[in-house]
Amino acid sequence: MSANQKNTLLVTGASGHLGRRVLELLLETHNGTIIAATRTPEKLADFSQRGVIVHHADFEDQASLLQAFKGVDRLLLISTDALDVPGHRLNQHRNAVKAAEQAGVSHVVYTSIINPGPDSPVFVAPDHRGTEEALAATKMGWTVLRENLYMDLLLMSLAQALQTGKLVNAIGDGKAAYITREDCARAAVAALTSSFEGSRTLDITGPEAISQYEVAAIASRITGQEISYLPVELEGLIQNMVAGGLPRPLAEGYASFDAAIAQDKFSAVANTVKDLTGREPISVADFLSAHRDVLLPVAL
């Protein structure tokens, strides 16, 4: 059920890929005030020309957050990209949650990650878990969207696989219910424009949990080039990334996702996307087929 069309809605991180798509969808569906908050307002000049109010907001500057959030009814908090120092992003999110409550925001929608509990090996899990806890400690309503892994990232790994004929990672037999950024955007818009006022945690997943063997088989069929899956040990994967020029801490961070998928931390499948948006999420096969033109130049 949609919320009051006169509600004032705000999107943080609005100049990023997800934020921009959310703004596009809001312009199509919401008649009330739409505010975009960003550190780089100049990147949203196109939306400003279309009626979106663009506010400068710095997650390190509480005053700028309070000013940006003033008069907002419902807010979408898109997790930031501050991964340089452990805890930096969590502090930013806490600043935003505090400012939202002080500004009188009634409901916050937050983009989290599947299974962010203490047993998750994913290096960003503590940030998401801490943000969820910060929201739960407020008197605001909130919706936590625990997103699975972006299907869009498969294009990067498959581009390399098409050059070598092998999809290489440390996932093993683990499965993930990959979700497209588009479906995440639609789910976020549905939650933001909903009339729901309480507190809820929702898993945002694709329609099926899929293995790397299946990913390789689907990509082979779509491109006409044979790709096989080659599982490797986690430490070997980390060493290969370091040898390729990545700092070891960053390599370990990337590899932590493989470890989590191997432990089936991303294998749960939920019907939430359809429940929120009214349509089924896109499958890996359909997504890769739709992006065949991106994969084919690599295959050829």
What's the pLDDT score for residue 4? 63
pLDDT on residue 3: 56
Is residue 2's pLDDT more than 80?
no
Q: Give a yes or no: residue 60 inside a domain.
A: yes
Q: What is the pTM of this model?
A: 0.94
From CA 255, how far away is CA 170, in angstroms rounded?
A: 8
- Answer yes or no: are the C-beta atoms of 163 and 253 closer than 8 Å: no
Reported confidence tier of residue 296, pLDDT bands at 50, 70, 90: confident
| For residues 45-70, average pLDDT | 96
- Which structural domain range is residue 56 located in? 9-148+180-205+268-281
Q: At what angle do helices 181-192 and 17-29 cross, to 10 degrees?
A: 50
Res. 239: pLDDT tops 80 = yes
Residue 85 has what pLDDT? 80
pLDDT over 90 for what percent of the chain? Answer: 93
Query: At 6, is the pLDDT very low, low, confident or very high (cuts 50, 70, 90)?
Result: confident
The enclosing domain of 141 has a CATH number of 3.40.50.720
Three-state SS at 187:
helix
At 274 the pLDDT is 98
Confidence (pLDDT) at 298: 58
Whether 126 maps to a domain, the answer reads yes
Task: Grade residue 1 by pLDDT with cuts at 50, 70 and 90.
Answer: very low
Predicted confidence (pLDDT) per residue in 102-120, tens digit: 999 999 999 999 999 999 9
Q: Which two tokens stand for residue 241?
A: 């990334």
Domain count across the chain: 1
Residue 139 has pLDDT above 90, yes or no: yes
Collapsed DSSP state (helix, strand, coil) of residue 281: coil
Q: For residue 186, tell me if it sits in a domain.
A: yes
Q: Strand ranges (DSSP E) for the chain? A: 9-12, 34-38, 53-56, 74-77, 107-113, 141-147, 166-169, 175-176, 199-204, 210-211, 228-231
Q: Is 229 a member of any domain? A: no
